[in-house]
Homo-oligomer: A and B are copies of this chain.
Amino acid sequence: MAQLLAIDWGTTNRRVYVLDANGAVLATDRDDRGMLAMEGRDYGAELDVLRGRYGDLPVLIAGMAGANRGWREAAYRSCPAGIAELAESICWMEPGRTGIVPGVSFDSGERADVMRGEEVQVLGAVQAGMAEPDALLCQPGTHCKWVEMAMGRIAAFTTAMTGELFALLRRDSILSGTIAGTVTDGEAFRHGVAQARRGDLLANLFGVRAGVLLGKRDAEESASYASGLLIGADVAARPLDRPVTILADPELGGLYATAIELCGGTGRIADSHTAFVAGITAIWRAL
């Protein structure tokens, strides 16, 4: 029997899960009503629609709905943060009925970082036994998160602008024409990772174009090579002293797994939806 509506409310997409008391998924739905599409719209009315569809259930929301540009800002909880800390800091829109899970912040003194939505996935991955309580987790994407767990809680994390930078370079830079092709996990990608490990990302990127001009590399291989340079620079900066659990689809996750292996580590891909459901269920139970 349905007990909870859990919503992973991201920047561009939204995914709804209807969960029973054991955290089993009775129904799920994904649409493009992310935070950006919701600007100027009524979150409460959206929840009425969802409750009309799935039943008059309690709702737990994670992600960008809790950002300053979302429904209501749910203040960041600082590291270390686990299931108990997040449950304690829920931002209640209606007590016990509609709540927003806070994001998590990190401050090493030298560098500050924030996440919103990813915290439920990484905590859930440990809950579901997909990652060790002291794991290193990787969530590739526009802004790739690397999360160090300690005793099942988020101890520290780093966000890298890897995906966004690749998209910017592809769309609107001197490399645009050169890196227009498809990225595949082949030799060109691996060469990019190897070159990235030597450091000097700013120069390596210009070398993508120069390599084509001088006939060292075909233009069709350049997207994969450039992706290798960026993902390689991202991975090479991480401590790979323990296995990495990669929460991603097989394609992007596979590129990261390859780069991690080339940098001397080991990575295994795990399903981010399963991780989210385990995390939100654990938070719900801890309330």
Contacts and interface: CB of A to CB of B under 8 A. Distances in A.
Interface string A167-204: 01101111000000000000000000001001111111
Contact of A173 (B160, B162, B164, B205): B164
B203 A160 contact: yes
A121 interface: no
A214 B204 CA distance: 32
A26 interface: no
Given A105-B214, A164-B174, A168-B169, A204 B111 contact: yes
A205 B161 contact: yes
A237 interface: yes
Total copies of the chain: 2
Contacts of A112: 207, 210-211, 213-214, 216
Contact of A210 (B113, B164, B171): B113
A21 interface: no
A36 interface: no
Given A198-B110, A214-B76, A168 B158 contact: no
B158 A216 contact: no
Nearest to A212: B112
Interface string A23-57: 00000000000000000000000000000000000
A15 interface: no
A233 interface: yes
A22 to B, nearest CB: 36
A69 to B, nearest CB: 11
A273 interface: no
A234 B204 CA distance: 11
Interface of A: 76, 105, 107, 110-114, 143-144, 158-162, 164-165, 168-169, 171-174, 195, 198-207, 209-211, 213-214, 216, 230, 233-234, 237
